[in-house]
Structure 1
Amino acid sequence: MPKYCTINHVFCFAVARCGLSPTGDKLYITNSIQHKLITLARDGSVLANFKDPDLDWPIGVHVTPQGQVLVCGQYSDTILQIDSKGSRKLATLATAMDGLDDPCSVCYNSNTDSIIVVHQNNKILVYKVK
């Protein structure tokens, strides 16, 4: 049985989402309750715990074919790019100023070089990567 809590009658799980590195050697897990991204090795050992003030309530995570880790902070209205080790922020890719509003899922489309973000209000935004 997964561990969970309720906040304002909303269920929040210790593991919100996960992504796998292209080589299959790392698993990236968003832990919304603790506001962090956890990176695990194949054997389950913790390689990194990433926390950042710009990552409030991390939920969606996506690993690109090149191994870039994208994480959305639902309450901070941010999309961050984290290094492949899961330990360091490389860039803030989008914020509320770019139209983010409660982002809950993120993915990268390599065919169109774009980042697709789904919001809690069922809005979908597409950002072209430069």
Structure 2
Amino acid sequence: MLLRFAVGRCAVSPTGDKLYITSNSQRKLLTLAMDGTLLATFEDHKLRWPCSLHVTPAGQVLVCGGLSSTILQVDWEGRRKLATLATGRDGMWSPRSVCYSSTTSSIIVGTQGLIGDIMVFRVE
């Protein structure tokens, strides 16, 4: 099966059996098996221009909504939103990269600005 779509970023699950892909043009997070089979499609009105993602060691997917200024947490299947982790109300503006540090229990977000900012959110 050959799927065609614009790829923003991609990441592999901790178990190595899934590939997560952001599709900016479709405003979606796609979950594929390693053979290319589409397993799930995630859409949310709070996810405009999904430009980056990160998969935690526990398999949860963090996705940046670049135009919606949000960071969403999605389940390991890529089917449902678990939480909205940050929004413009938290000072989030145009996130471009996200990662989770298990060492510091923090979510680190790189944003676009005149000089760019790095925001750190502690996770309990």
Q: How does 1:8-27 map to 2 (within 5 A)?
A: 14-27=6-19
Residue 28 of structure 1 is matched in structure 2 by: 20
SS at match of 1:79: strand
Deviation at 1:43, TM superposition (A): 0.7
- Is 2:39 the partner of 1:47? yes
Supply the distance in 2 between the matched residues of 1:71 and 1:91 (Cα, whole angstroms): 11
Supply the distance in 2 between the matched residues of 1:129 and 1:99 (Cα, whole angstroms): 16
Deviation at 1:14, TM superposition (A): 1.0
* CA RMSD, Structure 1 to Structure 2 (Å): 1.2
Where does structure 1 differ by over 4 angstroms across 4 or more consecutive aligned residues? none
Deviation at 1:120, TM superposition (A): 1.4
Q: TM-score, normalised by structure 2?
A: 0.93
* Aligned partner of 2:121 among 118, 124, 127: 127
Supply the distance in 2 between the matched residues of 1:113 and 1:107 (Cα, whole angstroms): 11
Give unpaired runs (5+ residues) of structure 1: 4-12
For 2:43, the aligned partner's letter is K
* Aligned partner of 1:68 among 52, 60, 64: 60
For 1:103, the aligned partner's letter is P
Supply the distance in 1 between the matched residues of 2:77 and 2:58 (Cα, whole angstroms): 13
Supply the distance in 1 between the matched residues of 2:83 and 2:109 (Cα, whole angstroms): 16
Q: TM-score, normalised by structure 1?
A: 0.89
Supply the distance in 1 between the matched residues of 2:105 and 2:89 (Cα, whole angstroms): 21
Residue 108 of structure 1 is matched in structure 2 by: 100
Deviation at 1:25, TM superposition (A): 0.3
Residue 37 of structure 1 is matched in structure 2 by: 29
CA displacement, residues 42-76 of structure 1 (integer Å, 9 cap, x when unaligned): 11100011110010110110000110100010011
